[in-house]
Amino acid sequence: MNARIMRTAAWTLIIISVVMGGAYFWGTSTIIADTQPPIIDEAASTHGAIAYGTGKPTVTLFVVENLGIQEATAEIFQVGLLGTRGSLVQKCTMGAAGKSGTTYKYLGVFTVSLDPNKEYILLYTATDAAGHKDTYETRIKLVNLEGEVLVNGVKVKGPGDTIYVTSLKLDFKAVVTQGAGSVDKIYCVVGDKTLEFAKSYDGYGIEQWTGTYTLPGDGKYEFVIIVRDAGGSNTQLASFGVVLGTEARWPLIIGTLGVLGVAAVYFSLEPKPKPRR
């Protein structure tokens, strides 16, 4: 056996040894320590009275978690005997809708129509990657209140909607289209701040509520519009996110690159002029 064959055989044995050793003996494991359970932000998550809309509620859940959420669910129950949970109306797995720092946002969309002005029990469950859970049981009621909210002239489409802006200053306008006679005031909640809207009338005599807010800087902010009626009850009219900064420019950047790419392909395929002799 010549030296070349011996070298090849030796290298082959070394490679096999490394592969087998790595697979069976030298493998490494990653251990992630997570001793902190997720914490549901009860004040920010959907609860209480909600504008009826289609009767099929969309609920928003905010969870503080250090490593990540494995699953978030929302369940609606009938109110049973002595105010306890009755029969299950529907359970939905909530979808991830954003993240800010260690706070995760989830949306749950129900497909069953609830009865208006009837109270239901809503149970949230958040489970992190390590299996820790947190639950929040609350009540919701769909009330006959409808309206629309505009931010810098852009209409909020529904819960979880995101509006992109290019200015720090936000101009809000809320118009209640059903149940306006019971409205005492309308205000906006962003973080730990509350902005009360002012009532006025447009050129057609329609009642509207307006307010302004200046963002502290680039980023994403969550807003909730609340209506308080003459009896002191609060109803969520709208919830949405506002994005200011580089995130708002990505669609434009991607679109521009796409146009440039198409142009480059076009010119590369265009027949080249023949050289003159």
In a 13 Å sphere around the CA of 40, the CA atoms on its Cβ side amount to 24
| Predicted confidence (pLDDT) per residue in 228-241, tens digit | 887 777 889 999 99
Identify the weakest region by mean pLDDT among 75-79, 189-193, 263-267: 263-267
Token pair listed for 166: 């290019």
Please determine, for residue 104, whether its predicted confidence score (pLDDT) is greater than 50. yes
**CB 127 within 8 Å of CB 133:** yes
Average pLDDT over residues 93-105: 91
Most confidently modeled range among 23-37, 43-57, 248-262? 43-57
Number of other residues whose CB lies within 10 A of the CB of residue 88:
12
> What is the separation of C-alpha 7 from the centre of its chain, rounded to a whole number of angstroms?
61
In DSSP terms, which residues pair with 105 in a beta bridge? 62, 98
Our measurement of the distance from residue 88's CA atom to the centroid of its chain's CA atoms, rounded to an integer in Å, reads 25
Domains for the chain: give ranges and CATH numbers.
39-143 (2.60.40.10), 146-249 (2.60.40.10)
Entry pTM: 0.64
Alpha helix ranges (H) inside the chain: 3-24, 246-269
Asked whether the predicted pLDDT for residue 24 surpasses 50, the reply is: no
- State the DSSP code for 42: T
